[in-house]
Amino acid sequence: MADEWDAVVVGAGVGGLSTAVLLAQEGMKTLVIEKDDRVGGRALSMRGEEVTAKGAEWYRRLLGGQYSYLVASEPSLEEMIAKRLLDGYTIDLGYHAVSVAGEGYFAMLRDLIGGYGERDVVFNPCLTGSWIDGQFYQESPLSNIQRLDDKLYREFKRIGKSFFDFFGPFLNATPEQLEGLDRVSLHDHLVNTGLSESSVVYDYLRCFGTLFTTINDPKDISMGDMTRYSLQVILPAALKGGTVYVGGFTENGIITWSEAVADRFRSFGGELRLDTAATAIELEGNEVKGVRVRGEAGEELISAPRVVFNVPIQELFKYVDEKAFPGDFVANIRSLYGYGSLSPYFGLSELPVPEDHAKRLMKTPCVVPREEGFDWDVYMAWNIQSYIEPGCAPAGKHLFTAYLPLTEAESHNRELVMKVVRAVPDFLEGVYPGFKDCIDWELYPVCVKLEGVAKSVTQAGSLKPDVKAPGVEGLFFAGDTARGYGVAMDCACSSGILCASAITSHDYGIK
Ligand SMILES: Cc1cc2nc3c(=O)[nH]c(=O)nc-3n(C[C@H](O)[C@H](O)[C@H](O)COP(=O)(O)OP(=O)(O)OC[C@H]3O[C@@H](n4cnc5c(N)ncnc54)[C@H](O)[C@@H]3O)c2cc1C
């Protein structure tokens, strides 16, 4: 019997959609199946009105389907819904800033597919700043990163270093050297460059490392991905003469990107089935035969010679017997770990921070010290999202969003997470007296897989599982748990491009 499809993509997350749109553009008959009622996966968004209409249980189930749960809220979610407190807000699954304001692999994909068609995806960029030991350090765009805050410049001078002592040596790194850097930690690199752990510069650079990798512990943060991203994405964008920002927010929520790519996919002849879950990937010998799915029409086997698995790879053996793969691959997958986070949302009655902070993505090295039972000091990145993207809050109100990275184990431990929940408003009140008085409501979603595979010295970049499965012909991976580079969503996108390249043999420009 002829195959129904050339390829079936399981999951409409950023990685799955990136692969699917490129395959469909090549003229391959491509089907995407997605278990949820919307595209985006962990990068999904909802309007407050939708939560109000569908209720607390619906919201909790939506989070649950994307490795997340609501650990606390104030008032209770039920009361927030009854009082329609979320109406007029757009929230994502949790904090979702887009790295380099969409000018990274997102831009590469956009150009490859000839734009988003009818849709417009607008990224509003933001500046960054750091808050270290009660001092504010303002930062220039990445394209002008050597322009340091005066206080920091003096500190670099005092210790006899410059910014380029830390990143300059890698500017001409070869791909082999970059692979070597995957195994080098930020901590080792900083100490080898002559920095003491107690210096402000160390904390400052660690904040950048954590922002990039979502890992708190600098001894676990890999230098490889950061360097690769700087060389392959940031530097070329800066050389084009544009201003490169660290991040930005998408107008109308992060889901807008996925919806636009899904539309483009359809315009190339692809088909997307929502509310359709894969239950197994069927093999014949060591070749893919298709995907068994459960959807509105019941159970069926969809035949295809290629399947792209966009679900975090740690779930793979629920769909395919591990005996189909070489033992070292199975052991590697079983050893992979991700990184979680607490990502609070606060509805604010007015702007409680100075404008120079409101226009920035702010970061601080420690909101809860490691002595409280954490792997490392818990860092926080925060934004007044509505200042950057006014559409995400009702007129006159503001939306605060933040993320505090937690290890996967910490994110499962509600007692530990609650220590962070309690610390966040206190920390903000300390920095911005009066902050607490401006809070209308608080929502504390936790995700246990912010990054599906942590960018650590044992699993970053080239150390991740390849996009082509070993041992099973026709099985591919796309997403932040497969080989790919860059920050979270951008990493999932780069992985999706690499995956399409492995299928079509096209060189899309990422190695
Ligand atoms: C709270 C939070 C905050 C984050 N903040 C940021 C940020 O600020 N910046 C950033 O760049 N990234 C951020 N991330 C990370 C980013 O969201 C992920 O790295 C990225 O979305 C992963 O995409 P993916 O395609 O790899 O996987 P996923 O998004 O997990 O996609 C997998 C898809 O497969 C579907 N699926 C699963 N099982 C099945 C099945 N059996 N059948 C059919 N479909 C199935 C899922 O529903 C999902 O749509 C954040 C993540 C979270 C959770």
* pLDDT higher than 70, residue 237: yes
* pLDDT higher than 60, residue 1: no
**Confidence category of residue 240, pLDDT binned at 50, 70, 90:** confident
206-216: average pLDDT = 95
- Cis? peptide before 305, omega within 30° of 0: no
Q: What pLDDT does 159 receive?
A: 86
**Confidence category of residue 142, pLDDT binned at 50, 70, 90:** confident
Whether residues 131 and 233 fall in one domain:
yes
Whether residues 214 and 185 fall in one domain:
yes
Crossing angle for the helix pair 105-112 and 14-25, to the nearest 10 degrees? 20
Phi, psi of 34 (to 5 degrees): -135, 130
Q: What pLDDT does 2 receive?
A: 63
Nearest-angstrom CA–CA distance, 473 and 352:
56
Whether residues 226 and 306 fall in one domain:
no
Within-domain flag for 322: yes
Phi, psi of 465 (to 5 degrees): -60, 140
Pocket residues: Cβ below 6 A from ligand 1: 10-16, 33-36, 41-43, 65, 68, 93-97, 99, 277-278, 310-312, 341, 343, 403, 447, 450-452, 479-480, 487-490, 492
Report DSSP letters for 321-353, one per residue. Answer: -GGGS-HHHHHHHHH---EEEE--EEEESS--S
Whether residues 317 and 465 fall in one domain:
yes
Task: Render pLDDT for 265-275 as a digit per residue (tens, 0 to 9).
Answer: 999 999 999 99
Nearest-angstrom CA–CA distance, 125 and 54:
32
443-448: average pLDDT = 98
The closest-lying atom of ligand 1 relative to the alpha carbon of residue 67 is 53
**Confidence category of residue 350, pLDDT binned at 50, 70, 90:** very high
Q: What is the CATH number of the domain that holds 17?
A: 3.50.50.60
**Confidence category of residue 165, pLDDT binned at 50, 70, 90:** confident
Whole-number Å distance, alpha carbon 124 to ligand 1 midpoint, is 21
Last residue of a domain, one of 239, 260, 278: 239
Number of domains the chain contains: 2
Residues 6+ apart with CB under 8 A from 448: 67, 68, 69, 338, 340, 408, 411, 412
Last residue of a domain, one of 215, 239, 263: 239
Whether residues 162 and 22 fall in one domain:
no
Answer yes or no: are the C-beta atoms of 71 and 418 closer than 8 Å.
Answer: yes
* pLDDT higher than 60, residue 341: yes
Task: Render pLDDT for 386-432 as a digit per residue (tens, 0 to 9).
Answer: 999 999 999 999 999 999 999 999 999 999 999 999 999 999 999 99
193-207: average pLDDT = 91
302-318: average pLDDT = 97
Exposure string over 254-267, b if 16+ CB within 10 A, otherwise e: bbbbbbbbbbbbbb
State which amino acid sits at residue 490: D
Last residue of a domain, one of 189, 217, 239: 239
CA geometry: angle 215, 102, 144, nearest 5 deg: 80
Lowest mean pLDDT among 100-104, 105-109, 158-162, 188-192: 158-162
Task: Render pLDDT for 475-506 as a digit per residue (tens, 0 to 9).
Answer: 999 999 999 988 899 999 999 999 999 999 99
Q: Which is more confidently placed, 80 or 118?
A: 80
Q: What pLDDT does 229 receive?
A: 87
Whether residues 233 and 288 fall in one domain:
no
Answer yes or no: are the C-beta atoms of 465 and 329 closer than 8 Å.
Answer: yes
Q: CA dist 89 to 50, 79, 101, 275, 479, Å?
A: 10, 16, 21, 25, 28
Q: HSE of 28 in the Cβ direction (CA atoms, 13 Å)?
A: 23
- Number of Cβ within a 10 Å radius of residue 195: 21
Terminal CA-CA length for the chain: 37
Q: What pLDDT does 490 receive?
A: 95
121-128: average pLDDT = 96
* pLDDT higher than 80, residue 57: yes
Whether residues 219 and 267 fall in one domain:
no
Whether residues 162 and 141 fall in one domain:
yes
Q: What pLDDT does 168 receive?
A: 76
Task: Render pLDDT for 82-103 as a digit per residue (tens, 0 to 9).
Answer: 999 999 999 999 999 999 999 9
The residue nearest atom 42 of ligand 1, judged by CA position, is 277
100 dihedral zone (left: phi>0; alpha: psi -120 to 50; beta): left
Q: Which of 44, 67, 255, 310 to mutate to test the pocket of ligand 1 (most atoms within 8 A of CB)?
A: 310
* pLDDT higher than 90, residue 125: yes
Within-domain flag for 111: no
Within-domain flag for 225: yes
Q: CA dist 306 to 27, 137, 178, 370, 500, Å?
A: 14, 50, 31, 46, 11
3-class state of residue 123 by DSSP: strand
253-271: average pLDDT = 97
Answer yes or no: are the C-beta atoms of 429 and 338 closer than 8 Å.
Answer: no
Whether residues 230 and 298 fall in one domain:
no
Within-domain flag for 101: no
Lowest mean pLDDT among 79-83, 381-385, 453-457: 453-457
Q: What pairs with residue 185 in β-bridges?
A: 222
Whether residues 136 and 218 fall in one domain:
yes
User: pTM here?
Assistant: 0.96
Whether residues 256 and 314 fall in one domain:
yes
**Confidence category of residue 230, pLDDT binned at 50, 70, 90:** confident
The mean pLDDT of the chain is: 94
Q: Which of 450, 453, 476, 495 to mutate to test the pocket of ligand 1 (most atoms within 8 A of CB)?
A: 450
Within-domain flag for 405: no
Within-domain flag for 264: yes
Nearest-angstrom CA–CA distance, 377 and 128:
20
Within-domain flag for 95: no
Q: By residue range, what is the domain housing residue 466?
A: 1-44+251-337+452-511
* pLDDT higher than 90, residue 289: yes
127-154: average pLDDT = 87
The closest-lying atom of ligand 1 relative to the alpha carbon of residue 16 is 25
Within-domain flag for 30: yes
Whole-number Å distance, alpha carbon 402 to ligand 1 midpoint, is 18
Whether residues 204 and 297 fall in one domain:
no
Q: CA dist 418 to 31, 320, 414, 444, 477, Å?
A: 42, 37, 6, 10, 35
**Confidence category of residue 166, pLDDT binned at 50, 70, 90:** confident
| Highest averaged pLDDT of the listed ranges 2-11, 17-26, 137-146, 289-298 | 17-26
156-162-165-166 Cα dihedral, nearest 10 degrees: 60
Q: Which is more confidently placed, 434 or 169?
A: 434
Q: Which of 32, 71, 92, 96 to mutate to test the pocket of ligand 1 (most atoms within 8 A of CB)?
A: 96
Answer yes or no: are the C-beta atoms of 452 and 333 closer than 8 Å.
Answer: no
